[in-house]
Amino acid sequence: MKIYIDGEYYDKENAKISVFDHGLLYGDGVFEGIRAYHKRVFKLQEHIERLFYSAKAILLEIPMSQEEMCDAVVETCRANQIENGYIRLIVTRGAGSLGLSPDSCPKPGVIIIANTIQLYPREIYENGMEIITAATSRNYVNAVNPAIKSLNYLNNILAKIEASNAGCEEAIMLNSEGFVAECTGDNIFILHKGTIYTPPLAAGALYGITRNTVIDLAREAGFKVEEKNLTRYDLFIAEECFLTGSGAEIVPVVMIDKRIIGSGKPGDVTRKLEEKYHALTHVSGEPI
């Protein structure tokens, strides 16, 4: 495996960063998780744009242009002979002092890892997932804004631990007002009486690339899609529920907090959107 670090490639064993890097010390940095399908990097431009937005929000100046970053991602995939895989793109504040101040970090670091990923067992996609609601609240928008895809994921990890302790793969996170925000790593959708609903971004949901793609696909298929504040009650009475994310793709949910969703099996609308999503990944993306 060849890992890109600041314009150079290193074998996995030799791919290292400084212990003084503020990405390690303080979670000071941003990242993207990107998929490659059939020798194409899916939604690359959208991911790079979001990376630069996240960096701007934390006053982190990425030492290359968006076009150069796109080229570096494709070249890293090519160097690793990726056909179907997962790319983790990281920009750290860089090495500095042990103090909090980012002014001690003269040069940001850029890391690109092109490998594979399997977030959930295959049977979950076939039979559906059981999830819970976490006690851990989603970050407030005036704290670490959830729109920023930062290296500080402890908020999500704490909720993930709750899911694991309950014997589940995922957990729903509520915002400070008690409305549904998202899951620990995925956006959430429900179907109720013919309309597809998903929490608004202002509720604490990530600006999901897959979320936006699924909204577009659903509307093209003739479904009404609305962003709406959702409570746990809304989830419990839904006819279908599914999660979306670049790593996860589309995951059917069949039980929430021990309440069976719909028939207790992945729904027809979820399956239809899965088919449309996978069809799109066959023909769309930046060639490797």
Residues forming the active site: 149
Question: Contact at 8 Å (CB) between 281 and 35?
Answer: yes
**230: Cβ–Cβ under 8 A, 6 or more apart, which residues?**
179, 180, 190, 197, 198, 199, 203
Distances (CA, A) of 21 to 69, 105, 113, 222: 21, 8, 18, 49
Whether 171 and 159 have beta carbons less than 8 Å apart is answered as yes
Q: Looking at the DSSP assignment, which residues form a beta bridge with residue 35?
A: 86
**DSSP-assigned beta bridge partners for residue 125:** none
Rounded (10°) angle between helices 209-220 and 44-57: 130
Amino acid at 86: Y
Helix axes 209-220, 268-283, angle to 10 degrees: 110
- 154's enclosing H/E stretch is helix 154-165
> Do 188 and 227 contact (CB within 8 A), yes or no?
no
Q: How far is CA 9 from CA 48, 66, 80, 111, in A?
A: 20, 20, 10, 10
Cα–Cα distances (Å) from 223 to 11, 17, 21, 92, 252, in that order, read: 47, 47, 47, 40, 17
Q: Dihedral (C-alpha) 38, 247, 32, 133: value to the nearest 10 degrees?
A: 170
Cα(3)–Cα(9) distance, integer angstroms: 5
